[in-house]
Amino acid sequence: MKESEIKYFSNKKNQHKNKVKNSEKIVNLSKKLKSKNKKNISQVRKKNEISVKTKKKTKILAKNNQKQKNAIEKLDNENFKAKAIENNKKIEFRNLTKRRLGRMGVISIIYIWQLFDKNIDIKEIKTKYFELTIDQLKLLNFIKKNYSFLRKVINLQLKSNWNWERILPLIRSILLVGAAELFFVPSRIVFNEAVEITKIFSIAGDNEFCFVNAVLQKIYNYYEIKNLFRN
Protein backbone atom coordinates (compact mmCIF):
# COMPACT_ATOMS: atom_id res chain seq x y z
CA MET A 1 0.00 0.00 0.00
CA LYS A 2 0.99 3.51 -0.65
CA GLU A 3 1.76 5.86 2.16
CA SER A 4 -1.16 8.10 1.23
CA GLU A 5 -3.54 5.18 1.44
CA ILE A 6 -2.21 4.17 4.82
CA LYS A 7 -2.77 7.70 6.11
CA TYR A 8 -6.26 7.72 4.71
CA PHE A 9 -7.23 4.46 6.45
CA SER A 10 -5.62 5.52 9.70
CA ASN A 11 -7.57 8.78 9.60
CA LYS A 12 -10.74 6.81 9.00
CA LYS A 13 -10.01 4.59 12.01
CA ASN A 14 -9.33 7.62 14.18
CA GLN A 15 -12.55 9.25 13.03
CA HIS A 16 -14.46 6.08 13.82
CA LYS A 17 -12.89 5.88 17.28
CA ASN A 18 -13.79 9.51 17.88
CA LYS A 19 -17.34 8.85 16.80
CA VAL A 20 -17.56 5.89 19.17
CA LYS A 21 -16.16 7.97 22.01
CA ASN A 22 -18.58 10.79 21.27
CA SER A 23 -21.49 8.40 21.13
CA GLU A 24 -20.42 6.92 24.49
CA LYS A 25 -20.19 10.40 25.94
CA ILE A 26 -23.68 11.18 24.65
CA VAL A 27 -25.01 7.94 26.14
CA ASN A 28 -23.38 8.74 29.50
CA LEU A 29 -24.73 12.27 29.43
CA SER A 30 -28.20 11.01 28.63
CA LYS A 31 -27.94 8.53 31.51
CA LYS A 32 -26.82 11.30 33.85
CA LEU A 33 -29.65 13.52 32.66
CA LYS A 34 -32.14 10.70 33.16
CA SER A 35 -30.89 10.05 36.69
CA LYS A 36 -31.04 13.79 37.43
CA ASN A 37 -34.54 13.95 36.03
CA LYS A 38 -35.53 10.99 38.19
CA LYS A 39 -34.07 12.69 41.25
CA ASN A 40 -35.81 15.93 40.38
CA ILE A 41 -39.11 14.10 39.83
CA SER A 42 -38.74 12.25 43.15
CA GLN A 43 -37.90 15.53 44.89
CA VAL A 44 -40.91 17.20 43.31
CA ARG A 45 -43.10 14.28 44.36
CA LYS A 46 -41.74 14.48 47.89
CA LYS A 47 -42.38 18.21 47.95
CA ASN A 48 -45.90 17.61 46.69
CA GLU A 49 -46.45 14.93 49.33
CA ILE A 50 -45.13 17.26 52.01
CA SER A 51 -47.34 20.08 50.77
CA VAL A 52 -50.37 17.77 50.77
CA LYS A 53 -49.54 16.64 54.30
CA THR A 54 -49.04 20.22 55.45
CA LYS A 55 -52.34 21.19 53.85
CA LYS A 56 -54.07 18.33 55.66
CA LYS A 57 -52.42 19.36 58.93
CA THR A 58 -53.43 22.99 58.45
CA LYS A 59 -57.01 21.88 57.73
CA ILE A 60 -57.04 19.70 60.85
CA LEU A 61 -55.58 22.55 62.91
CA ALA A 62 -58.14 24.95 61.46
CA LYS A 63 -60.95 22.51 62.35
CA ASN A 64 -59.59 22.06 65.87
CA ASN A 65 -59.29 25.81 66.29
CA GLN A 66 -62.86 26.23 65.08
CA LYS A 67 -64.03 23.53 67.51
CA GLN A 68 -62.20 25.29 70.35
CA LYS A 69 -63.76 28.61 69.34
CA ASN A 70 -67.21 27.01 69.23
CA ALA A 71 -66.64 25.40 72.62
CA ILE A 72 -65.53 28.73 74.09
CA GLU A 73 -68.55 30.47 72.56
CA LYS A 74 -70.84 27.81 74.04
CA LEU A 75 -69.26 28.23 77.47
CA ASP A 76 -69.57 32.00 77.20
CA ASN A 77 -73.23 31.66 76.22
CA GLU A 78 -73.88 29.23 79.07
CA ASN A 79 -72.12 31.53 81.53
CA PHE A 80 -74.09 34.48 80.20
CA LYS A 81 -77.36 32.55 80.54
CA ALA A 82 -76.41 31.38 84.04
CA LYS A 83 -75.62 34.96 85.08
CA ALA A 84 -78.86 36.18 83.53
CA ILE A 85 -80.84 33.51 85.41
CA GLU A 86 -79.01 34.38 88.63
CA ASN A 87 -79.71 38.09 88.13
CA ASN A 88 -83.36 37.36 87.35
CA LYS A 89 -83.64 35.30 90.52
CA LYS A 90 -82.09 38.16 92.53
CA ILE A 91 -84.65 40.54 91.02
CA GLU A 92 -87.41 38.02 91.80
CA PHE A 93 -86.30 37.79 95.44
CA ARG A 94 -86.26 41.60 95.73
CA ASN A 95 -89.80 41.83 94.36
CA LEU A 96 -91.25 38.99 96.48
CA THR A 97 -94.19 39.81 98.72
CA LYS A 98 -93.99 39.30 102.48
CA ARG A 99 -96.51 36.45 102.30
CA ARG A 100 -94.54 34.61 99.63
CA LEU A 101 -91.34 35.06 101.64
CA GLY A 102 -93.24 33.71 104.65
CA ARG A 103 -94.30 30.61 102.69
CA MET A 104 -90.75 30.11 101.42
CA GLY A 105 -89.50 30.31 105.01
CA VAL A 106 -91.92 27.56 106.09
CA ILE A 107 -90.98 25.44 103.05
CA SER A 108 -87.26 25.86 103.89
CA ILE A 109 -87.81 24.66 107.47
CA ILE A 110 -89.88 21.63 106.35
CA TYR A 111 -87.28 20.90 103.68
CA ILE A 112 -84.58 20.51 106.37
CA TRP A 113 -86.75 17.99 108.23
CA GLN A 114 -87.63 16.13 105.00
CA LEU A 115 -83.98 16.04 103.97
CA PHE A 116 -82.84 14.46 107.24
CA ASP A 117 -86.07 12.45 107.73
CA LYS A 118 -86.90 13.99 111.09
CA ASN A 119 -90.17 15.00 112.71
CA ILE A 120 -91.01 18.69 112.98
CA ASP A 121 -90.14 20.04 116.43
CA ILE A 122 -91.99 23.32 117.07
CA LYS A 123 -89.95 24.13 120.20
CA GLU A 124 -86.71 23.69 118.23
CA ILE A 125 -88.09 25.88 115.46
CA LYS A 126 -88.95 28.65 117.95
CA THR A 127 -85.43 28.61 119.39
CA LYS A 128 -83.61 28.43 116.04
CA TYR A 129 -85.93 30.57 113.92
CA PHE A 130 -87.15 33.23 116.36
CA GLU A 131 -87.91 35.63 113.46
CA LEU A 132 -90.88 33.48 112.36
CA THR A 133 -94.29 35.14 112.41
CA ILE A 134 -97.42 33.85 114.17
CA ASP A 135 -98.91 32.79 110.81
CA GLN A 136 -95.78 30.79 109.94
CA LEU A 137 -95.80 29.04 113.31
CA LYS A 138 -99.52 28.25 112.94
CA LEU A 139 -98.93 26.71 109.51
CA LEU A 140 -95.96 24.67 110.80
CA ASN A 141 -97.98 23.50 113.78
CA PHE A 142 -100.87 22.43 111.50
CA ILE A 143 -98.49 20.47 109.24
CA LYS A 144 -96.90 18.79 112.28
CA LYS A 145 -100.28 17.71 113.74
CA ASN A 146 -101.66 16.53 110.37
CA TYR A 147 -98.42 15.29 108.80
CA SER A 148 -99.54 11.65 108.39
CA PHE A 149 -102.86 12.71 106.85
CA LEU A 150 -101.25 15.21 104.44
CA ARG A 151 -98.62 12.68 103.37
CA LYS A 152 -101.32 10.05 102.77
CA VAL A 153 -103.42 12.48 100.68
CA ILE A 154 -100.41 13.44 98.55
CA ASN A 155 -99.55 9.76 98.03
CA LEU A 156 -103.10 9.02 96.85
CA GLN A 157 -102.75 11.57 94.02
CA LEU A 158 -99.54 10.05 92.63
CA LYS A 159 -99.38 7.65 89.71
CA SER A 160 -98.94 3.94 90.40
CA ASN A 161 -95.24 4.03 89.46
CA TRP A 162 -94.58 6.91 91.91
CA ASN A 163 -94.38 7.04 95.69
CA TRP A 164 -93.47 9.46 98.48
CA GLU A 165 -89.77 8.49 98.53
CA ARG A 166 -89.36 9.19 94.81
CA ILE A 167 -90.42 12.84 95.22
CA LEU A 168 -87.58 15.25 95.91
CA PRO A 169 -87.53 16.55 99.51
CA LEU A 170 -87.97 20.15 98.28
CA ILE A 171 -91.04 19.23 96.18
CA ARG A 172 -92.45 17.23 99.10
CA SER A 173 -92.10 20.31 101.29
CA ILE A 174 -93.91 22.54 98.76
CA LEU A 175 -96.71 19.97 98.41
CA LEU A 176 -97.10 19.69 102.20
CA VAL A 177 -97.42 23.47 102.55
CA GLY A 178 -99.84 23.66 99.59
CA ALA A 179 -101.98 20.76 100.84
CA ALA A 180 -102.17 22.41 104.29
CA GLU A 181 -102.92 25.91 102.96
CA LEU A 182 -105.87 24.67 100.88
CA PHE A 183 -107.83 24.59 104.17
CA PHE A 184 -107.20 28.29 104.88
CA VAL A 185 -106.31 30.08 101.62
CA PRO A 186 -108.26 30.33 98.31
CA SER A 187 -107.22 27.50 95.97
CA ARG A 188 -106.25 29.88 93.14
CA ILE A 189 -103.69 31.59 95.39
CA VAL A 190 -102.36 28.25 96.69
CA PHE A 191 -101.83 26.87 93.18
CA ASN A 192 -100.21 30.07 91.90
CA GLU A 193 -97.91 30.48 94.92
CA ALA A 194 -96.82 26.82 94.86
CA VAL A 195 -96.01 27.00 91.12
CA GLU A 196 -94.10 30.29 91.41
CA ILE A 197 -92.12 29.15 94.47
CA THR A 198 -91.25 25.88 92.69
CA LYS A 199 -89.95 27.89 89.72
CA ILE A 200 -87.80 30.03 92.03
CA PHE A 201 -86.27 27.04 93.82
CA SER A 202 -85.92 24.78 90.76
CA ILE A 203 -83.11 24.65 88.21
CA ALA A 204 -83.82 26.36 84.88
CA GLY A 205 -85.36 23.96 82.38
CA ASP A 206 -86.94 21.64 84.98
CA ASN A 207 -90.72 21.24 84.96
CA GLU A 208 -91.39 20.31 88.60
CA PHE A 209 -93.88 23.19 88.78
CA CYS A 210 -96.18 21.25 86.38
CA PHE A 211 -96.02 18.23 88.70
CA VAL A 212 -96.72 20.39 91.78
CA ASN A 213 -99.67 22.11 90.10
CA ALA A 214 -101.20 18.80 88.92
CA VAL A 215 -100.89 17.13 92.35
CA LEU A 216 -102.35 20.13 94.22
CA GLN A 217 -105.29 20.27 91.78
CA LYS A 218 -105.99 16.61 92.54
CA ILE A 219 -105.68 17.21 96.29
CA TYR A 220 -108.20 20.07 96.06
CA ASN A 221 -110.65 17.80 94.18
CA TYR A 222 -110.10 15.07 96.80
CA TYR A 223 -110.92 17.50 99.64
CA GLU A 224 -114.09 18.57 97.83
CA ILE A 225 -115.24 14.99 97.20
CA LYS A 226 -114.62 14.10 100.86
CA ASN A 227 -116.33 17.32 102.05
CA LEU A 228 -113.26 18.27 104.07
CA PHE A 229 -113.59 22.02 103.50
CA ARG A 230 -115.30 23.89 106.30
CA ASN A 231 -117.91 26.45 105.39
How does pLDDT run along the chain (231 residues), one tens digit per residue? Answer: 555 555 555 555 555 555 555 566 665 666 666 666 666 666 656 666 666 667 676 777 667 767 676 766 666 565 555 554 455 554 454 557 888 999 999 999 999 889 887 777 777 877 877 678 899 999 999 999 999 999 999 999 998 888 999 999 999 999 999 999 999 999 999 999 999 999 998 865 678 999 999 999 999 999 999 998 865
Taking the C-alpha atoms of residue 104 and residue 106, their distance in angstroms, rounded to an integer, is 5
Closest by CA to 169, choosing from 153, 151, 181, is 151
Model pTM? 0.59
Question: Cα–Cα distance between 85 and 62 in angstroms, integer?
Answer: 34
Report the chain's C-alpha Rg in angstroms.
Answer: 46
Q: What is the pLDDT of residue 91?
A: 45
CA-to-CA separations, 63 to 52, 68, 72, 75, in angstroms, rounded:
16, 9, 14, 18
What is the pLDDT, as a whole number, of residue 25? 60
Alpha helices in the chain (DSSP H): 3-94, 98-115, 122-128, 134-145, 147-156, 169-181, 187-201, 208-225
Are the C-beta atoms of residues 100 and 193 closer than 8 Å to each other?
A: yes
What pLDDT does residue 119 have?
A: 76
Are 209 and 195 in contact by the 8 Å Cβ rule? The answer is yes
92: CB partners within 8 A, 6+ apart: 200
Helix (H, G, I), strand (E, B) or coil at 118: coil
- CA–CA distances in Å: residue 81 to residues 8, 88, 203, 204, 205: 107, 10, 12, 10, 12
CB 215 within 8 A of CB 157: yes
Q: Which residues contact 167 (CB under 8 A, 6 or more apart)?
A: 158, 175
Contact 209, 198 (CB under 8 A): yes
Other Cβ atoms closer than 10 A to 151: 16
Q: What is the pLDDT of residue 24?
A: 62
DSSP class of residue 227 equals T
What is the pLDDT, as a whole number, of residue 214?
96
Q: Tell me what pLDDT residue 13 has.
A: 55
Query: What is the model's pLDDT at position 75?
Result: 62
**The pLDDT value given to residue 47:** 63
Distance CA 124, CA 109 (A): 11
